Structure 1
Amino acid sequence: MSDTDDLVEIEQLLARYAVSMTRGDVDRVLAVFTPDGAYSAFGDTYPLDEFPALISAAPKGLFLVGTPVIELAEDGATAAGTQPLCFVEHAQHGMRIGYYNDTYVRTPDGWRLRTRAMTFIRRSGDHDSGRPHAFTRS
């Protein structure tokens, strides 16, 4: 597989994440991660088994993502990247902007996200991972 093929596959993986989040399709969101995957935001890291509750508690709307910057590792089995995000809430059209910092791994089923960490860009211009306890674990 060429570097270009790898980049296209990872970009499609990230597109599936955004479309699945927009549609509220939790199973398809989970499918883009490795089984040991994790998501970080709101001052904490959530293993994949906690992600459905986090998605359920999140506002619903449109996930608009930009083209990611992806660095393929020389080992051919891992990569890291950053992808910009603009989320528009469906009811009031309020926005959240920021970017994801990701790690990817090649699996027998193709490329998957291992980690995805959200950084919010605030009106003040600050970049942070979110307010602790914005989501309450059960």
Structure 2
Amino acid sequence: MESSHIADIIEIEQLLARYAVGMTKDDVDAVVAVFTPDGTYSAFGEKYGVDDFPELVAAAPKGVFSVSTPAIGFDGEDSATGEQTLCFVAQTDHSMRIGYYTDTYRRTPDGWRLRTRAMTFLRKSGSRDSGRSHDPRRPVPGQKTAN
């Protein structure tokens, strides 16, 4: 690890901690704040933009998002990639989902932000996938529903 990136690593780790805490607390504003304005989250066979996050977070099960220290690599001074494992425990029945995120990060005038985050679930069968695209609780990207 280059010592010149130590402060960047700490900042990215704190960014990802804010994501996990925001998801755990059902705080969509905190989740949106860790992404670039053009940031995306990929899972369930879809790619969601930041504008989709309020409905996506509302549809997500509630519980604890427990994440590991990320593995981060730098592509230059203002971009990086990373992977971070996740263990999600549902609040209502304590069922678990496990997997990992694959990320890209970008340095912005406001500090480091997530540019892309993609989820891979680890299944009991031993398979790995990005989720069930047919889940009816998930919103369709780019199509907001009326309140």
The TM-score bracket by the shorter chain reads over 0.9
Corresponding residue for residue 110 of structure 1: 111
Over the matched positions of the two proteins, sequence identity in percent amounts to 63
- Letter of the aligned partner of 2:63 in structure 1? G
Name the CA distance, whole Å, in 2 between partners of 1:87 and 1:2: 33
3-state SS of the aligned residue for 2:105? strand
Taking structure 1 as the reference length, the TM-score comes to: 0.96
1:16-41 superposed Cα distances (whole Å, 9 cap, x missing partner): 00011101110011000000000000
**Structure 2 segments unaligned to the other structure (5+ residues):** none
Distance 1:70 1:126 in 2: 25
TM-score of the superposed pair, with normalisation by structure 2:
0.90
Q: Supply the distance in 2 between the matched residues of 1:60 and 1:83 (Cα, whole angstroms).
A: 20
| Equivalent residue pairs, number | 137
Within 5 A, what are the aligned runs for 1:43-82? Answer: 43-73=45-75, 75-82=76-83
Output one character per residue of 1:51-86: Cα deviation in whole Å (capped at 9) or x when no partner: 11010011100000001100011x210000000000
Q: Could you tell me whether the CA contact under 8 Å between 2:55 and 2:139 is conserved in 1?
A: no
> Unaligned stretches of 5+ in structure 1?
none
Could you say what the CA RMSD is over the residues aligned between the two structures, in angstroms? Answer: 1.1
**Counterparts of 1:117 and 1:72, CA distance in 2:** 18
Matches of 1:95 and 1:77, distance apart in 2: 35
Show the counterpart of 2:126: 125
2:102 corresponding residue in structure 1: 101
Rounded Cα–Cα distance in structure 1 between residues aligned with 2:47 and 2:108: 22
